[in-house]
């Protein structure tokens, strides 16, 4: 009976190890922990008087321990992958911006700008005598605004601080 139980546990453990190829690390850890725990539990249970009880307790404890270990390993691997990805993104941004490659000292640049120059003027114009209804308006001078203007282009001196290009 004991030999049959031990050989069954060994077969379960071998199957767990062989079929864990496409599982996550958590699932692999649980499968390996179950097999190892069952084997150790059978040994301790045989010494205590009940190999099957020892095998069941060992399998449960081994599965829990293996799953926790596998989950911890998965999280560490994901953190390392994330850190590596962040380093790569940082390096790509630096290489794209050229930061650190071309240093430009602070200097003045001339920037072309435009502004509207208003050249409107007032002119005196003679307004002839006229009638509005039965009211007479005498001839007189009036000042009228003659709108005009143009765009003027000019250069403005601007300070550009030191930077990387």
- The pLDDT averaged over each successive group of 10 residues in the chain (165 residues) is 68 64 76 82 80 82 84 89 88 64 83 89 91 90 89 89 78
Task: Report pTM.
Answer: 0.43
> Nearest CA to 31 among 65, 7, 56, 8?
65
Q: Are 8 and 35 in contact (CB under 8 A)?
A: no
pLDDT at residue 98 in the model: 52
Domains of the chain: which residue ranges?
A: 2-97
Q: Which H or E element spans position 9?
A: helix 2-18
pLDDT at residue 146 in the model: 87
Q: Calculate helix-pair angle for 25-48, 51-97, nearest 10 degrees.
A: 160
């Amino acid at each position: 009976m004991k030999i049959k139980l031990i050989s069954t546990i060994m077969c379960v453990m071998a199957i767990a190890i062989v079929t864990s190829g496409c599982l996550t690390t958590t699932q692999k850890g649980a499968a390996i922990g179950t097999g190892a725990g069952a084997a150790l539990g059978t040994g301790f249970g045989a010494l205590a008087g009940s190999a099957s009880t020892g095998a069941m307790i060992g399998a449960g404890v081994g599965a829990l321990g293996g799953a926790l270990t596998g989950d911890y390993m998965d999280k560490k691997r994901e953190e390392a992958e994330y850190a590596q990805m962040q380093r790569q993104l940082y390096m790509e941004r630096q290489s794209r911006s050229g930061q650190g490659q071309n240093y430009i000292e602070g200097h003045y640049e001339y920037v072309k700008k435009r502004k509207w120059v208003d050249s409107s003027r007032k002119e005196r114009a003679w307004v002839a005598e006229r009638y509005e209804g039965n009211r007479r308006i005498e001839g007189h001078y009036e000042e009228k605004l003659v709108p005009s203007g143009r765009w003027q282009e000019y250069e403005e001196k601007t300070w550009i601080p030191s930077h990387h290009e």
